[in-house]
């Protein structure tokens, strides 16, 4: 269906892809695997016409093609669904799907009836049971992704490229997505699936291609390969699989929540959090699992003092009752929050690494009211070294680093505040295996050093491998608590799925 | 329990030769980008001095510096505001009101016949009262923007009108003139061979450079403009920082107003009209991004000098005032287009 031969792409002299060959077959799901920076996105951008200048040949249905822009690729039948969704939230589903290719009546006006009808058909096919006039902003992330797929299908695309499609959606939504992919396979569409999550690939993919440092390392049938081997190919090193030892000698009570509630910011009669109570101990890693919309992020935000006017309940830190009205007060009380979306909430991408690391502790880096550059340098060098942040210098712009290194900067800026309680919201989202394992190791070390840590994650394997104890949330309530010895994937998922009556 | 993955070996750091070479060749263009406004200024001066022999004289140099000192006061404040991703349209009117209040207090004091009360003002007292007025109006801007989430464009547009109205009310529409030789010294005097307004704007620039580079507040300003949400989560009190920035901008506009009033020996009710646009132009030409987080005080100073030299040159070359405006507008456009092209190539 689509064949790429000897693709080489350089960015101002730096080789991003070297002699990469790729073959995509109709009716199959081809998994594209590789660490961050391996060249996956570059290859996808070449295939979808974002980068028109490259060396090598691309054959589509046996014809030599060279797309000048994404529009051209789309018209020919290659659609890409980006990791960050490209939808206009204030427009309806219909308007989004037909954006830029509206159907016009003979009078020159929009043929809304026809567009709505075709949207309805597409949504029905994709089993998304919402009205075509619904505003996209009102949909959940998973549903928005389905709208993106509908956009691709409208063009009768033969090749659909999905870049990290499950990074922002919950497990139940992943199931819906996989169902759609199965349907597309049956219709003989070719699907390219880019993901870090190997277990997903083993479920959905037929073939795989491993990229490393811009080169094609291995390709083959998914059924002929095992997870360890794939990881080894991706990383290019030998891997030791080790089991986490549980931390049984837990310390004193560190953080206690009693009847924490949070009102909905608009619909005041609804509660996003409903009487949540639990205790975090010194040296404990508490896993918090929940599906999208369960209120995990809201819970961390409430504890961190971000919703003082909407929340109620009692917070106790080290036996002292506290009332936190702002993040500044929360930091003083020994809390630190690594937010879910590091680009939106974690980092100032346009500033350099050093400034980002020092942002939370500037008051300590002053001499007589003026910032001491030496102290700043010292602090940032310390964390670049300790967390193995790969950057050309501390003056590098944060936005230029890879996801894993950006996440380490966010961690560094919070560790610099010397917190007692660390709240981690999806600490490994969208980062490669290598950085992931380093972050897991760090979390473990911090807990051993006596910090209390809450890890929120929507990935079950992550929760199970990192936590000492697991709490499960559904619809703003705590629904279950497991000691790590008793926790199973089934048990956690069962508690996380909302009970609909 | 699930298995956990550890990596045995560290990846060896290999730097390819091609990477090094490209870093070397790009350093030249980086310097070009860094000093682009200085280079533009140099070329501008070269052209004007070739066309007019009156341009490159010491007297004309001080003349230009004196003329731009007011714009520098205002645009330093504007830079701080724009760095937080805001804008302050009220500075021109605030300048007029503060100039009028300083002049009025100096000349008439406060008189309340019904209470049989009269308060006279010394020069210092009047100047302080003028600056206080500007700071308070700036604080009001910051308050409406942070407390009621009014967009800065709208909030300061409202104050632009309010302050102009208050100026008219206070002056009853007439200039307040005859303010005395001591007051005139601020705008027209010399100190150690340098005009006093140049001293004032120079001190403001030095203080602002220190503020932006060497203090917590400065760092917070960049962080808020770069990513407000991340700044809030980092424990920064966004409302406080923003309010402070607008207060500073108001205070600096007041200083500009005092200089203008002193130079003319008269507070004009319609002083400072469209000064906010000159300030924004200086900020933009100086390379500060209107979306915040990127830019510098020294860039703005260069921008203000470019506008000043351009104005001066066009006058010396007898270009009609109408054409002057057209040229100025085109220069602003050109500056932003070049800046956009540069940030894209990065």
The model's pLDDT over A455-471, given as tens digits with 9 standing for 90+, comes to: 998 777 788 888 888 99
Please indicate if any CB of chain B lies within 8 Å of the CB of A368.
Answer: no
CA A478 to centroid of chain Cα atoms: 23
Per-residue pLDDT, B210: 92
Q: How many angstroms away from the CA of B287 is the closest CA of chain A? A: 15
The arithmetic mean of pLDDT across residues A215-230, rounded, is 82
Percent of chain A with pLDDT over 70: 93
The Cα A403–Cα A431 span in angstroms is 5
Of the candidate ranges A180-184, A426-430, B166-170, the one whose mean pLDDT is the lowest: A426-430
Instruction: Check pLDDT > 50 for residue B22.
Output: no
B222 to A351: CB separation less than 8 angstroms, yes or no: yes
Instruction: Check pLDDT > 60 for residue A46.
Output: yes
Task: Give the tens place of pLDDT for each residue, B298-316.
Answer: 989 999 998 888 888 888 8
Task: Give the tens place of pLDDT for each residue, A356-370.
Answer: 999 988 888 888 888
CA A136 to centroid of chain Cα atoms: 20
Per-residue pLDDT, A236: 64
Instruction: Check pLDDT > 50 for residue B104.
Output: yes
In this complex, the residue of A239, A304, A306 whose CB is nearest that of residue B5 is A239
CA A15 to centroid of chain Cα atoms: 27
Of the candidate ranges A114-123, A279-288, B24-33, B168-177, the one whose mean pLDDT is the lowest: B24-33
Please indicate if any CB of chain A lies within 8 Å of the CB of B16.
Answer: yes
The Cα A315–Cα A313 span in angstroms is 7
Domains of chain B: 54-345 (1.10.3470)
A370 to B210: CB separation less than 8 angstroms, yes or no: yes
Per-residue pLDDT, B200: 94
Six-digit token string for A390: 């790969």
Instruction: Check pLDDT > 80 for residue B340.
Output: no
Q: Which positions in chain A touch B9 (Cβ < 8 Å)?
A: 237-238
Q: Which runs of E-coded beta strand occur in chain B?
A: 4-7, 110-112, 117-119, 176-177, 190-191, 194-195, 266-267
Between strands A452-457 and A285-290, the pairing is: parallel
In this complex, the residue of A12, A360, A436 whose CB is nearest that of residue B234 is A360
The arithmetic mean of pLDDT across residues A126-140, rounded, is 84
The arithmetic mean of pLDDT across residues A56-61, rounded, is 87
In this complex, the residue of A12, A241, A371 whose CB is nearest that of residue B214 is A371
Per-residue pLDDT, B71: 93
* A376, B76, B222, B341 from A350: Cα distances, Å: 18, 22, 9, 17
Q: How many angstroms away from the CA of A375 is the closest CA of chain B? A: 12
CA A374 to centroid of chain Cα atoms: 35
Instruction: Give yes or no for a contact between A283 and A251, defined as CB atoms under 8 angstroms apart.
Output: yes
Instruction: Check pLDDT > 80 for residue B34.
Output: no
pLDDT category of residue B256 using cuts at 50, 70 and 90: very high
Of the candidate ranges A293-297, A303-307, A411-415, the one whose mean pLDDT is the lowest: A293-297
- Better-predicted residue by pLDDT, A232 or A477: A477
Per-residue pLDDT, A393: 83
Q: How many angstroms away from the CA of B212 is the closest CA of chain A? A: 10
Q: Which residues contact A288 (CB under 8 A, 6 or more apart)?
A: A296, A299, A454, A455, A456, A457, A470, A471, A472, A473
Per-residue pLDDT, B26: 52
The arithmetic mean of pLDDT across residues A206-235, rounded, is 81
For testing contact with chain B, the best of A359, A409, A412, A491 (most B CBs within 10 A): A359
Instruction: Check pLDDT > 70 for residue B345.
Output: no
Strand pairing partners for A321?
A316
The Cα A263–Cα A275 span in angstroms is 11
* A157, A241, A253, A280, A410 from A450: Cα distances, Å: 54, 25, 11, 12, 20
pLDDT category of residue B4 using cuts at 50, 70 and 90: very low
Instruction: Check pLDDT > 90 for residue B98.
Output: yes
Instruction: Check pLDDT > 50 for residue B1.
Output: no
pLDDT category of residue A235 using cuts at 50, 70 and 90: low
For CA atoms A164, A168, A169, A170, the dihedral sign is positive
* A248, A465, A482 from B3: Cα distances, Å: 19, 7, 18
The Cα A29–Cα A46 span in angstroms is 19
A349 to B2: CB separation less than 8 angstroms, yes or no: no
The gap between the terminal CA atoms of chain A, to the nearest Å, is 47
Q: Which residues contact B307 (CB under 8 A, 6 or more apart)?
A: B68, B71, B278, B281, B282, B285, B328, B331
Task: Give the tens place of pLDDT for each residue, A268-297.
Answer: 777 888 888 898 988 888 999 887 678 888
Please indicate if any CB of chain B lies within 8 Å of the CB of A369.
Answer: yes
- Better-predicted residue by pLDDT, A241 or A51: A51
pLDDT category of residue A498 using cuts at 50, 70 and 90: low
Per-residue pLDDT, A248: 54
Per-residue pLDDT, B10: 38
Q: How many angstroms away from the CA of A161 is the closest CA of chain B? A: 27
In this complex, the residue of B26, B214, B223 whose CB is nearest that of residue A359 is B223
Instruction: Check pLDDT > 50 for residue B161.
Output: yes
- In terms of average pLDDT, the best of A54-63, A238-247, A309-318, B76-85 is B76-85
In this complex, the residue of B6, B234, B293 whose CB is nearest that of residue A350 is B293
Q: Which positions in chain A touch B232 (Cβ < 8 Å)?
A: 306, 327
Please indicate if any CB of chain B lies within 8 Å of the CB of A318.
Answer: no
- In terms of average pLDDT, the best of A431-445, B44-58, B262-276 is B262-276
Q: Which of residues 401-440 of A touch B (CB under 8 A)?
A: 413, 433-434, 436-438, 440
Per-residue pLDDT, B244: 96
Six-digit token string for A361: 């502790």
B6 to A441: CB separation less than 8 angstroms, yes or no: yes
Please indicate if any CB of chain A lies within 8 Å of the CB of B15.
Answer: no
Domains of chain A: 2-235 (3.40.50.300), 253-334+419-496 (3.40.50.300)
**How many other CB atoms sit within 10 Å of the CB of residue A266?**
6
A345 to B233: CB separation less than 8 angstroms, yes or no: yes
Nearest to A331 by CA among A454, A424, A419, A443: A419
Task: Give the tens place of pLDDT for each residue, A371-403.
Answer: 888 888 989 998 898 888 888 888 888 888 877
Instruction: Check pLDDT > 60 for residue B7.
Output: no
Query: What chain B residue is nearest to A241 in terms of C-alpha separation?
Result: B5
Please indicate if any CB of chain B lies within 8 Å of the CB of A265.
Answer: no
Instruction: Give yes or no for a contact between B254 and B134, defined as CB atoms under 8 angstroms apart.
Output: yes
Task: Give the tens place of pLDDT for each residue, B199-248.
Answer: 999 999 999 999 998 888 998 999 999 888 888 888 889 999 999 999 99
pLDDT category of residue A243 using cuts at 50, 70 and 90: very low
Of the candidate ranges A28-37, A114-123, A400-409, B171-180, the one whose mean pLDDT is the lowest: A28-37
Q: Which of residues 198-257 of B touch A (CB under 8 A)?
A: 210, 213-216, 219-220, 222-223, 226-227, 229-237
Query: What chain B residue is nearest to A488 in terms of C-alpha separation?
Result: B1
Mean pLDDT, chain A, as a whole number? 83
Per-residue pLDDT, B5: 44
pLDDT category of residue B150 using cuts at 50, 70 and 90: very high
In this complex, the residue of A331, A349, A437 whose CB is nearest that of residue B235 is A331
Per-residue pLDDT, B319: 84
Q: Which positions in chain A touch B233 (Cβ < 8 Å)?
A: 304, 306, 327, 337, 339, 345-346
pLDDT category of residue B3 using cuts at 50, 70 and 90: very low
């Amino acid at each position: 269906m689509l064949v790429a031969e000897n693709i080489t792409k350089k960015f101002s002299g730096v080789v991003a892809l070297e002699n990469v060959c790729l073959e995509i077959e109709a009716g199959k799901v081809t998994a594209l695997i590789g660490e961050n920076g391996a060249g996956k996105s570059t290859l996808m951008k070449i295939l979808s016409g974002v980068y028109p200048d490259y060396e090598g040949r691309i054959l589509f249905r046996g014809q030599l093609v060279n797309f000048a822009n994404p529009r051209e690729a789309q018209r020919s039948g290659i659609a890409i669904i980006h990791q960050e969704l490209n939808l206009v939230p204030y427009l309806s589903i219909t308007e989004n799907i037909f954006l830029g290719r509206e159907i016009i009546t003979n009078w020159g006006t929009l043929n809304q009836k026809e567009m709505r009808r075709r949207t309805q058909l597409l949504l029905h096919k994709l089993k998304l049971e919402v009205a075509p006039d619904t505003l996209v902003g009102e949909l959940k992330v998973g549903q928005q992704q389905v709208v993106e797929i509908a956009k691709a299908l409208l063009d009768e695309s033969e090749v659909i490229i999905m870049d990290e499609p499950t990074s922002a959606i919950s497990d139940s939504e992943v199931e819906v997505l996989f169902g759609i992919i199965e349907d597309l396979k049956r219709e003989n569409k070719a699907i390219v699936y880019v993901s870090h999550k190997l277990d997903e690939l083993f479920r959905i993919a037929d073939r795989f291609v491993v990229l490393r440092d811009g080169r094609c390392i291995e390709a083959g049938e998914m059924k002929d390969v095992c997870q360890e081997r794939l990881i080894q190919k991706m990383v290019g090193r030998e891997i030791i699989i080790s089991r986490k030892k549980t931390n049984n000698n837990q310390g004193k009570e560190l953080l206690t929540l009693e009847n924490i509630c949070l009102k909905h910011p608009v619909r005041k009669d609804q509660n996003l959090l409903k009487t949540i109570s639990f205790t975090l101990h010194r040296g404990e890693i508490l896993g918090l699992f929940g599906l999208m919309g369960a209120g995990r992020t809201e819970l961390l935000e409430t504890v961190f003092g971000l919703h003082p006017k909407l929340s109620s309940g009692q917070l106790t830190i080290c036996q002292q009752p506290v009332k936190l009205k702002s993040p500044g007060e929360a930091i003083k009380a020994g809390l630190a929050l690594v937010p879910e979306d590091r680009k939106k909430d974690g980092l100032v991408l346009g500033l350099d690494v050093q400034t980002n690391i020092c942002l939370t502790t500037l008051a300590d880096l002053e001499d007589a009211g003026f910032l001491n550059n030496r102290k700043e340098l010292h602090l940032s060098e310390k964390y670049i070294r300790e967390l193995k942040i790969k950057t050309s210098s501390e003056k590098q712009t944060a936005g230029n680093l890879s996801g894993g290194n950006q996440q380490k900067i966010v961690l560094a800026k919070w560790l610099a505040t010397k917190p007692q309680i660390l709240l981690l919201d999806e600490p490994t989202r969208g980062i490669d295996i290598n950085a992931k394992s380093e972050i897991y190791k760090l979390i473990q070390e911090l807990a051993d050093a006596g910090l209390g840590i809450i890890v929120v994650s929507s990935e079950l394997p992550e929760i199970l491998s990192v936590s000492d104890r697991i709490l499960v949330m559904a619809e703003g309530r705590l629904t279950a608590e497991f000691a790590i010895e008793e926790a199973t994937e089934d048990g956690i998922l069962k508690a996380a799925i909302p009970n609909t009556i | 329990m699930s298995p956990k993955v550890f990596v045995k070996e560290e990846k060896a750091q290999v730097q390819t030769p091609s990477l090094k070479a490209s870093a070397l060749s790009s350093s030249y263009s980086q310097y070009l980008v860094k000093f682009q406004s200085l280079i533009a200024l140099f070329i501008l001066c070269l052209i004007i001095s070739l066309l007019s022999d009156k341009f490159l004289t010491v007297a004309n140099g001080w003349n230009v510096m004196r003329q731009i000192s007011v714009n520098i006061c205002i645009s330093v404040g504007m830079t701080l505001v724009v760095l937080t991703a805001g804008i302050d349209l009220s500075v021109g009117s605030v300048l007029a009101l503060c100039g009028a209040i300083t002049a009025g207090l100096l000349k008439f004091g406060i008189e309340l016949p019904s209470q049989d009360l009269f308060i006279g003002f010394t020069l210092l007292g009047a100047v302080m009262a003028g600056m206080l007025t500007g700071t308070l109006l700036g604080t009001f801007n910051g308050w409406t923007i942070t407390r009621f989430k009014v967009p800065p464009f709208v909030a300061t547009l409202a104050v632009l009108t309010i302050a102009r109205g208050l100026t008219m009310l206070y002056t009853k529409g007439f200039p307040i003139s005859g303010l005395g030789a001591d007051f005139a010294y601020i705008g027209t005097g010399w100190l150690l061979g340098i005009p006093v307004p140049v001293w004032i704007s120079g001190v403001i620039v030095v203080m602002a450079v220190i503020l932006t580079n060497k203090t917590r507040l400065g760092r917070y300003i960049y962080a808020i403009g770069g990513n407000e949400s991340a700044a809030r989560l980092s424990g920064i009190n966004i409302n406080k920082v923003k309010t402070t920035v607008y207060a500073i901008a108001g205070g600096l506009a007041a200083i500009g107003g005092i200089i203008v009033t002193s130079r003319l020996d008269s507070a004009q009710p319609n002083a400072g009209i469209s000064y906010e646009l000159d300030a924004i132009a200086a900020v933009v030409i100086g390379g500060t991004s209107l979306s915040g987080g990127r830019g510098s005080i020294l860039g703005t100073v260069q921008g203000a000098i470019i506008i000043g030299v351009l104005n001066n040159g066009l006058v010396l070359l007898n270009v009609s005032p109408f054409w002057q405006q057209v040229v100025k507008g085109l220069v602003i456009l050109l500056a932003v287009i070049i800046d956009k092209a540069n940030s894209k190539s990065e």
